[in-house]
């Protein structure tokens, strides 16, 4: 039986007096990659932020791993999030490895240490630090940024930063990964390479992915499910159904030009 990872029921969000999204309902099943598409102002980022309680909800319910976000407890560690814009002080003296290390948690990765009661405190701390270093190194290697490990994050390009943020998510076991325009600021080839990497890691890690995207061509190539949004859900389904000309017209309106990138 397939597990429901995320359930959204009747979600409505007002921003002031403006109705941003209305009565949005859908579910994500374990292991699927679902893209939210729609025109500018359709409420895509608002939906993601409301799901994660980064914006207040006016109505509706959200369950992640079968629980409200406020009651996730340690299950929160299994949720990864990549924002559209990662805003930080570029002069802040923190390296790539140090940033990724902030995503590592003793509560999940070091459960095995609890049974080693005969060990000294020094031995436990040493083992925990070794485990953390190994996790950081593995995350860096698998995302192709190991060579940047000692580089200050303020010196990274847009594409490099996206991979580092993915490594941050990878340093811990995750079940749900939420990406809000993960490819914003990345060139066409960089986005294509990132999609390939993301799909590979999804298969290896068993991730369930919810992502916001403007690139219809990429979505049709790489995602399992598509949710077409324009304040409310216009349609949802497999890409070949949801991205039909009729559904795109209903979602975007007349004059829509489908993004098409030629990736060889």
Residue 78 lies in a domain: no
Residue at a domain's end among 143, 170, 197: 170
Same domain, 161 and 121: yes
229-256: per-residue pLDDT in tens? Answer: 999 999 999 999 999 999 999 999 987 7
Residues of the chain with pLDDT under 50: 109-115, 260-264
Residue at a domain's end among 127, 154, 170: 170
What backbone phi and psi angles, to 5 degrees, belong to 32?
A: -95, 160
> Which distant-in-sequence residues (6+ apart) come within 8 Å of 124 by Cβ?
113, 116
Same domain, 250 and 128: no
d(CA 174, CA 206): 8
Beta strands 208-212 and 176-180 are: parallel
Same domain, 195 and 161: no
Place of tokens 């324009």: 230
Look up residue 67 and give its two tokens. Answer: 């629980």
CATH number at residue 240: 3.40.50.300
List, edge to edge, every strand of the sheet that includes 18-29: 18-29, 4-15, 59-64
Same domain, 106 and 38: no
Same domain, 261 and 204: yes
Same domain, 244 and 119: no
Its domain, for residue 260, covers 1-65+175-264
The predicted structure's pLDDT at residue 257? 66
The predicted structure's pLDDT at residue 124? 66
d(CA 199, CA 222): 7
141-175: per-residue pLDDT in tens? Answer: 999 999 999 999 999 988 888 899 999 999 999 99
The predicted structure's pLDDT at residue 166? 93
Same domain, 202 and 243: yes
d(CA 135, CA 145): 14
The predicted structure's pLDDT at residue 112? 45
Task: Label residues 167-188 b or e (16+ Cβ within 10 Å = b).
Answer: bbbbbbebbbbbbbbbbebbee
CA nearest 154: which of 204, 209, 101, 96?
Answer: 96
The predicted structure's pLDDT at residue 24? 98
The predicted structure's pLDDT at residue 37? 96
The predicted structure's pLDDT at residue 225? 96
């Amino acid at each position: 039986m397939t597990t429901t990872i995320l359930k959204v029921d009747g979600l409505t969000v007002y921003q002031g007096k403006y109705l941003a999204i209305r009565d949005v309902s859908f579910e994500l099943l374990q292991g699927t990659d679902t893209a939210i598409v729609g025109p500018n102002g359709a409420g895509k980022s608002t939906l993601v932020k409301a799901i994660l309680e980064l914006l207040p909800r006016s109505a509706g319910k959200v369950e992640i791993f079968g629980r409200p976000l406020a009651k996730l407890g340690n299950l929160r560690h299994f949720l990864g999030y990549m924002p559209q814009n990662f805003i930080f002080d570029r002069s802040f003296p923190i390296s790539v490895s140090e940033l990724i290390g902030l995503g590592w948690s003793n509560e999940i990765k070091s459960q095995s240490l609890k049974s080693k009661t005969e060990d000294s405190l020094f031995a436990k701390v040493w083992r925990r630090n070794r485990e953390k270093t190994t996790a950081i190194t593995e995350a860096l290697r698998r995302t192709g940024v190991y060579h940047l490990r000692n580089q200050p994050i303020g010196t990274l390009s847009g594409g490099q930063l996206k991979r580092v943020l993915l490594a941050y998510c990878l340093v811990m076991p995750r079940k749900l990964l939420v990406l809000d325009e993960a490819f914003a600021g990345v060139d066409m080839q960089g986005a294509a390479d990132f999609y390939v990497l993301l799909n590979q890691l999804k298969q290896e890690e068993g991730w369930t992915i919810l992502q916001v995207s403007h690139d219809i061509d990429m979505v049709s190539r790489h995602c399992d499910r598509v949710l077409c949004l324009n304040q409310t859900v216009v349609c949802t389904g497999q890409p070949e159904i949801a991205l039909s000309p009729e559904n795109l017209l209903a979602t975007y309106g007349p004059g829509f030009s489908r993004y098409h990138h030629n990736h060889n």
